[in-house]
Amino acid sequence: MQITIHRAEQIGGQITRISTAKDNIIIDLGHILPNSTKNKDVYDDDLAVAEITKGCSAILYTHYHGDHIGLFHHVPNDIPQYIGEVAKQVVCRKYEQLSHLPDEAGKQKYQHALNIASNLHTFHEKQTLHFGDIIVTPYFVSHSAYDAYMFLIEAEGKRILHTGDFRRHGYLSKGLLPTIQKYIGQVDVLIIEGTMLARKNEAILTEAELSRKAAELMKEHKYVFVHCSSTDMERLASFKNATRQMPSYRPLLADKYQKDLLDIFSTTAGQKRSSTGKESTCFKFGTIYMYEDRNIKLKNWMISNGFTMFVRSSEKFHSLLDQIFSILPTSERPILIYSMWDGYINREDTKKEDYIRLQKRFATIESLHTSGHATTDVLCRICELVNPRLAILPIHKEKDTDFSSIGIPSHLQKKVITKNHTLSNIDIEFI
């Protein structure tokens, strides 16, 4: 067996290939983070992707973030690609949006990607997929992308767990440890994300705590704009739930794209019952309003009760802000709640100018964010629970961070492998 990991020592551009003597699959085919380097992703063309996917039986995606799925549109048509059912809907809606971009080259590229996205195969939690002698079972995880999975891969008598991106402090994290205990147990090789290694001491709010803090801000401010990821269902729910706590009923506003995504979440996650059979309103987003200057009723409602509006940094939102600011009383200042990683604002190598420009529109800005990734404590728990017989392969981590120093017992520290290595008939290769 061979395990080939591309770009383990960076966050973004995740690709893992698992090969037996007969078959092979790829887990995630990610693009590097857009701002992570001025260079183009070396795999970002049809030829390069044809080369690295050659002879591959299938490509499976843990979730829809670009650093895991971003190269999918280069994959040759004869290789089937798999993703969660709701994740597929989100990807299709995203590429439909991108295909409306004004420039012709971009339009064609994204239209092509949309065609490929609509042909993605889907899988279901805990249902095994067979690719020759490789068996893959997806297990649901909570992450800042909804419908995310870790994969158990079984082949040639070996069991490998690939965690993808995950966390234990989301609304949907309760099943994480029980699922691993009940369905996965001990493995031979653990391939595990290490995003938080570089942020070991960062205080982590649970998503529920974040929602309570959002409600406190909303009690102080009537006119609330929220800048968060349009596809982060749990975060969007945190702000929706906080809005619903307000004594007077406030409308939730978004543009058509965000509204469509929220509708996808309401009709999927919003319909699911909890393990106790209880109906939950957490992911039912209800009616989402789109601002229109001629909708006097909505305008009066917004002015009198306040509102929460999900915004992005595109040009369209600047003109929407112009319109909305002009109807608000000058006595009440609108607030922008920034709910994404602060590196996009204040880290020289990753900052996004359009995010900063959006912030300049507001006199009052509050940052309220929590990570989509597992804390080092949780990474330790996972290592102990699956107690890998052969190897721990850390991926999705910043360079020069050390996985073996997170507090795992010494017998597991010795199993952390970050360089090419052969053990017990498995060739491990880092590219």
Residues that bind Zn ion (CB under 5 A): 65, 67, 165
Measured in whole angstroms, how far is the alpha carbon of residue 18 from the centre of its chain?
A: 23
Question: How many angstroms separate the CA atoms of 70 and 109, rounded?
Answer: 13
Nearer Cβ to Zn ion, position 67 or 207? 67
Question: Residue 196 Cβ, how far from Zn ion at the closest point, in Å?
Answer: 12
What is the C-alpha to C-alpha distance for residues 311 and 184, in angstroms, rounded to an integer? 40
Q: How far is CA 137 from CA 84, 125, 140, in A?
A: 12, 7, 10
Minimum distance from residue 198 beta carbon to Zn ion (Å): 14
Helix, strand, coil percentages for the chain (3-state, nearest 5): 35, 25, 45
Amino acid at 156: E
Smaller CB separation from Zn ion, 335 or 374:
374
Q: Side chain identity at 302, as an amino acid letter? A: M
Q: Which is nearer to Zn ion, 67 or 234 (CB)?
A: 67
Q: How far is the CB of 65 from Zn ion (least distance, A)?
A: 4
DSSP conformation letters of 91-158? HHHHHHHHTT-SSHHHHHHHHHHHHHHHT-EEE-TT--EEETTEEEEEEEEB-SSSSEEEEEEEETTE
Q: How far is the CB of 189 from Zn ion (least distance, A)?
A: 20
Return the bridge partners of 393, or none.
191
In the complex, least distance from residue 233 CB atom to Zn ion, rounded to whole angstroms: 13
CB 22 → Zn ion: shortest distance, Å? Answer: 30
Q: Toward Zn ion, which CB reaches closer, 67 or 260? A: 67
Angstrom distance (rounded) from CA 161 to CA 176: 13
Of 165 and 207, which has the nearer Cβ to Zn ion? Answer: 165
- Asked if residues 86 and 63 have their Cβ atoms less than 8 Å apart, the reply is no
